[in-house]
Chains A and B, each alone.
Chain A
């Protein structure tokens, strides 16, 4: 193991031979990527090397979680984040940090003959830690990205559409799991409060499969809406799905219609409205809906 003296020596070596090490580093990295310019790589490498030399001057070359490595960590985080967002792979990102090893080892071998093995070992451990930190930050950034995108997709895929005064529709798209059902339910109930809707149409045309779990989620949404005083109609049940539901023995005790149009027609009837055909002479024809209800457009 290196003594305390040789550790500060290493720090001095890094700052005194900055340019030599830097050149060796950039050569070792040897990137020919078009996403990032050579100047940018060099300036990032220089900043990192300077910060590392400053941190190493404290004599601590073994633990990068200590406060003296704050600058190094910040630089690495920023670097790793920007690479993650630009779409670099973890290998490409980590190689940048790890190729510093080669540059430093060469230098140690040439100029510090007496305890080269101990120094190499110390530096190796240090750079491994830096490499791991980079990969970890990289991965965390990607995970944040994925989480954000999932949130956005959830928001996008559960819009509540007001079809008419007192009638809202919820076109469900994509697989329904318990997490999404929660979002769907919340959105629907809030929309019911806001619009004062009496009827909510759940359209499942875009739901790829309906199994017992999805059916249960749908029924939960229906009962929650009922507790808020709104009736639900389920629409968009494809023939295949209707067969699956029956085969699974799921009891869907809800009014259901084959298409959104049918559901909307029923909703209009229930709210005492009708859609009528206008004849070319401008006169309204008799209402086509059952019961011949009067026209009362919203």
Chain B
């Protein structure tokens, strides 16, 4: 059975989804990821879906689940590389992925994980 590799970059974990997801694979990915977050004391998880042309409600829910689990373990989840047509489909399906951070590409996503606290301060400064 195939697995989805999880790469460690600094204190972030990178997952690239390139194959069709099914129940078992998704469950396994969640398991692996949870373990790796604890092992590596990861601050963030990057999920790259730039290779996916179709994202359905199943993958949408999986992403939301991963985000919730990571949040419990104090790691931010950033979904990166979503294609415009995928974004439109998700919005039309009513899946806005609340609670999941997003970025245009992996580079931006890494910066987001590294710079979360700084951004928060900035927003406070503006709103105050």
Contact = CB atoms under 8 A, between A and B. Distances in A.
Are A and B a genuine interacting pair, yes or no?
yes
B67 to A, nearest CB: 13
A207 interface: no
Contact of B125 (A196, A230, A290): A290
Contacts of A220: 91-92
Give the dominant DSSP class at A's interface.
helix
A296 interface: no
Given A290-B125, A290-B126, A291-B125, A227 B104 contact: no
Contacts of B87: 189, 224-225, 227-228
Interface string A189-205: 11011001010000000
Nearest to A226: B102
B126 A228 contact: no
B84 A193 contact: yes
A229 B122 contact: no
Interface in A226-274: 226-230, 266, 269-270, 272
A227 B84 CA distance: 9
B126 A227 contact: no
B45 interface: no
B28 interface: no
A223 interface: yes
Interface residues of B, number: 22
B88 A186 contact: yes
Contact of B96 (A227, A228, A229): A227
A131 to B, nearest CB: 46
B75 interface: no
A272 B118 CA distance: 11
B80 interface: yes
Interface in A169-227: 182, 185-186, 189-190, 192-193, 196, 198, 220, 223-227
Given A189-B84, A290-B125, A229 B91 contact: no
A69 B82 CA distance: 55
Contact of A227 (B102, B109, B122, B125): B102
B103 interface: yes
6 contacts: A224-B91, A227-B90, A227-B102, A269-B125, A270-B123, A291-B122
